[in-house]
């Protein structure tokens, strides 16, 4: 099965900082990669699909890139409301594995 | 508006069984990919199972042979039959629609403990 390690597992950044989270598939998955945001105590929310397509209503400070095995989620200017855990997920074929998550906090 | 409402969670002893339900409105269960995803207390998301629109089903290795996903098109409801439950199955179970999962229920807590 394809593994989806994410890095870092946590980070602390200042408001306005550029934040980058990486997800690396152990085998190529084309662009079948999604990113989810889960705020504390809340249900996860789909942010990005097809590696780089923003879900409707998601702020433009979020962006995704990558194809094959290496993927990146970028927050161009971190805001207080972005405090959350972010997960990647492969969805090309089962098992639809999630990454381990990246917890983002404000410094 | 799409709504997914899970039910059926609760406290069960190791080795026991539970059936989770996910009632959908504004969304057709039988025509779409439907998933179960779980989250153990303080842990990350774990994909559990999917049923494709054509009826094919797949499972995570951790639940294969113990859990079964199904759907009732007439009731527009998704199910997860969970047998031979273990303490490590303790989690909030979310149902979800589409692939990737655009729609999420609020989750139902399953606790496996003696």
For residues A57-62, give the mean pLDDT.
Answer: 97
- What pLDDT does residue A53 have? 98
- What pLDDT does residue A101 have? 98
- Say whether A89 and B47 touch across the interface (CB within 8 A): yes
- What pLDDT does residue A81 have? 97
In chain A, residues with a C-beta closer than 8 Å to the C-beta of B46 are 98
φ, ψ for residue B31, nearest 5 deg: -105, 0
- Say whether A101 and B94 touch across the interface (CB within 8 A): no
- The distance of Cα B94 from the centroid of its chain, to the nearest Å, equals 6
B1-14 confidence digits (pLDDT tens)? 999 999 999 999 99
Is the bond preceding A8 in cis, omega lying within 30 degrees of 0? Answer: yes
Q: Which of A91, A94, A100 sits opposite B100 (nearest CB)?
A: A91
- What pLDDT does residue B44 have? 98
Residue A18 and residue A11: Cα distance in Å, rounded? 12
- What pLDDT does residue B105 have? 97
pLDDT band at residue A93 using 50, 70 and 90 as cut-offs: very high
Q: Which of A34, A85, A97 sits opposite B100 (nearest CB)?
A: A34
B58-86 confidence digits (pLDDT tens)? 999 999 999 999 999 999 999 999 999 99
Residue A105 and residue B5: Cα distance in Å, rounded? 31
pLDDT band at residue B17 using 50, 70 and 90 as cut-offs: very high
Question: DSSP assignment of chain B, as one string?
Answer: --EEEEE--EEE-TT--EEEEEEEESS-GGGS-EEEEEE-TT--EEEEEEE-TTS-EEE-TTTTTTEEEEEETTTTEEEEEE-S--GGG-EEEEEEETTTT-EE---EEEEE--
- Say whether B105 and A43 touch across the interface (CB within 8 A): yes
Mind telling me how many Å the CA of A43 is from chain B's nearest CA?
6
pLDDT band at residue A100 using 50, 70 and 90 as cut-offs: very high
CB proximity under 8 Å: B 27-86 to A = 35, 37, 44-47, 50, 58-61
φ, ψ for residue B6, nearest 5 deg: -85, 155
- What pLDDT does residue A51 have? 98
- Say whether A98 and B94 touch across the interface (CB within 8 A): no
pLDDT averaged over every residue in chain A? 97
Question: Closest residue of B to A54, CA-based?
Answer: B102
pLDDT band at residue B57 using 50, 70 and 90 as cut-offs: very high
Q: Which of A54, A78, A50 is nearest to A66 (CA)?
A: A50
């Amino acid at each position: 099965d394809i593994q989806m390690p994410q890095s870092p597992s946590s980070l602390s950044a200042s408001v306005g900082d550029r934040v980058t989270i990486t997800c690396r598939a152990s085998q190529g998955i084309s662009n079948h990669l999604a990113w989810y945001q889960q705020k504390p105590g809340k249900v996860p929310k789909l942010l990005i699909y097809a590696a780089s397509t923003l879900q409707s209503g998601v702020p433009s400070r979020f962006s995704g890139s990558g194809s094959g095995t290496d993927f990146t989620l970028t927050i161009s200017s971190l805001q207080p409301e972005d405090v959350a855990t972010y997960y990647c997920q492969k969805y090309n074929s089962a098992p639809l594995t999630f990454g381990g998550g990246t917890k983002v906090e404000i410094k | 508006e799409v709504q997914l409402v899970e039910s059926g969670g609760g406290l069960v002893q190791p080795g026991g069984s539970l059936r989770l339900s996910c009632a959908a409105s504004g969304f057709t269960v039988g025509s779409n990919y439907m998933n179960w995803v779980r989250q153990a207390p303080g842990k990350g998301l774990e994909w559990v199972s999917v049923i494709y629109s054509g009826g094919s089903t797949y499972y995570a290795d951790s639940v294969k042979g113990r859990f079964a996903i199904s759907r009732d098109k007439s009731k527009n409801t998704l199910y997860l039959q969970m047998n031979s439950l273990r303490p490590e199955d303790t989690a909030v179970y979310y149902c979800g629609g589409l692939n990737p999962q655009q729609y999420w229920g609020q989750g139902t807590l399953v606790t496996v403990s003696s």
